[in-house]
Chain A
Amino acid sequence: MRRAPGPARRSPRVYTIGLASALALVLWAAAAAAQVQLTITASMARGPATAAVTIIEFSDYQ
């Protein structure tokens, strides 16, 4: 009697890759949320350093 094929079993390697990707995603998200130290070049700033609102524009000239 031929045994009916059981559910396909994933190899342990597939699970390992899946877990690594999930971990990388979590670490990336945490890094993105972490504070980034921004430097200000004095000649590239207008307005007082004590201003209530600071607008930082990341831009290209084109």
Chain B
Amino acid sequence: MKEYDGRVRLVFKDRPLASHALARPAHEAARCAGALGKYWEYHDLLFEAQPAFARADLLAYAGEIGLDRAEFARCLDERRFAAEVEADVGQATALGILATPTLLVNGHLIQGAPPLDTFRAIIEQALRARR
């Protein structure tokens, strides 16, 4: 992202897979962290820690990045962001996105994670198209 600073916007959208039993709580937990101001820190931690997404793990990660554990636990246990996660899933389904990761680069769909050089080329092409 740094090499494209100011020229690229990255947006994460939830697409928990049904085959991953603890996926939804993890996605809801990340949104709880976002509500407390540390979405990306928690997002990065989840990817590092996968697939350890039991409730105790999710709470521990919140503590690791300095979130208010009581507030975070309340958010998680209330499933405060369940509807938002479901909304993202609905949008993914509407787009026919069944596998992850799937990217949309200025609306063009790319399935899977391309190698870094390929990804750069895709971004460069999209930047050229916008000039």
- Contact surface of A with B, Cβ cutoff 8 Å: 31-32, 36-41, 43-49, 51-62
Contact = CB atoms under 8 A, between A and B. Distances in A.
A31 to B, nearest CB: 8
B46 A58 contact: no
Contacts of B50: 61-62
13 contacts: A37-B91, A38-B13, A39-B87, A43-B34, A44-B31, A44-B43, A52-B8, A53-B126, A54-B11, A58-B103, A59-B13, A62-B17, A62-B53
B60 to A, nearest CB: 15
B100 A56 contact: no
Interface of B: 1, 4-17, 20, 22-23, 26-27, 30-31, 34-35, 37, 39-40, 43, 46-47, 50-51, 53, 84, 87-88, 91-92, 94-97, 100-106, 123, 126-127, 130
List 9 A-B pairs, minimum CB-CB distance, nearest first. A47-B9, A43-B34, A51-B9, A58-B15, A59-B101, A52-B130, A56-B104, A61-B46, A43-B39
Given A37-B91, A56-B13, A59-B14, 11 more contacts: A36-B94, A39-B87, A41-B84, A51-B8, A54-B8, A57-B101, A58-B13, A58-B95, A61-B27, A62-B20, A62-B26
A41 B27 contact: no
B130 A44 contact: no
Nearest to B125: A53
A22 to B, nearest CB: 19
A58 B17 contact: no
Contact of A40 (B11, B16, B23, B34): B11
A62 B92 contact: no
A58 B102 contact: yes
B10 A47 contact: yes
B6 A51 contact: yes
Nearest to B40: A46
